[in-house]
Amino acid sequence: MRVHVDRDVCQGHTLCSLAAPGLLQIGDEDGLAYVEDEEVPPGMEDNARMAARTCPEGAISVTE
């Protein structure tokens, strides 16, 4: 599974980082979400899906 953040759409709500801590991270300086590696680690699939669902901007997409 892969997860992608569209940083042009992200407005820094940070709700995704509560849904998928460690996977979705928040930039210290710009406050926007990012992932270090788009490949979702095993066991984090539900968190990645929840991160996408909890984004008010629709900035996060998950491909199975």
Partner 1 sequence: MSTERPVVDFDHHSAVFAARPDEVFDELRSGCPVAYSPNYGGFWVLTRYEDVRAAARDHQTYSSVRSDQPIDGVRYEGITIPPVVGHSGMAETDPPEWNPIRRFLTPFFSPAAVERLRPAQARWATACLDQVIESGRAELIDDLVNAIPALVTLDLLGLPLDLWQWCADVVHAATYQPPGPGSVQAWTDFHDLMVVIRQDVAAQRDHPGPGVVGHLVSEEVGGQRLTDDEIVTVCQGLIIGGVDTTTSLLSHALLHLHRHHDDRQRLIDDPALLPVATEEFLRMFTPSPALARTVTTTAELGDQQLCPGDRLLLAWAAANRDPDEFDRADEVVLDRMPNRHLAFGAGLHRCIGSSIARSEFATVMGEVLRRIPDYEIDEDGAQPYPAVGVINGYLRMPARFTPGPVESGEPLPPARPKGSSAVVGGAGTAKGEAGMAKGGTE
Smallest separation (angstroms) from partner 1 to the CB of 50: 6
Beta partners for 3?
Answer: 62
Distance separating alpha carbons of residues 57 and 37, to the nearest angstrom: 21
Binding partner 1 (rule: CB under 8 A), the pick from 4, 27, 34, 63 is: 27
Q: How many residues bind partner 1 (CB under 8 A)?
A: 19
Binding of residue 28 to partner 1 (CB under 8 A): yes
Distance separating alpha carbons of residues 7 and 11, to the nearest angstrom: 8
Binding of residue 13 to partner 1 (CB under 8 A): yes
Binding of residue 30 to partner 1 (CB under 8 A): yes
Distance separating alpha carbons of residues 42 and 31, to the nearest angstrom: 27
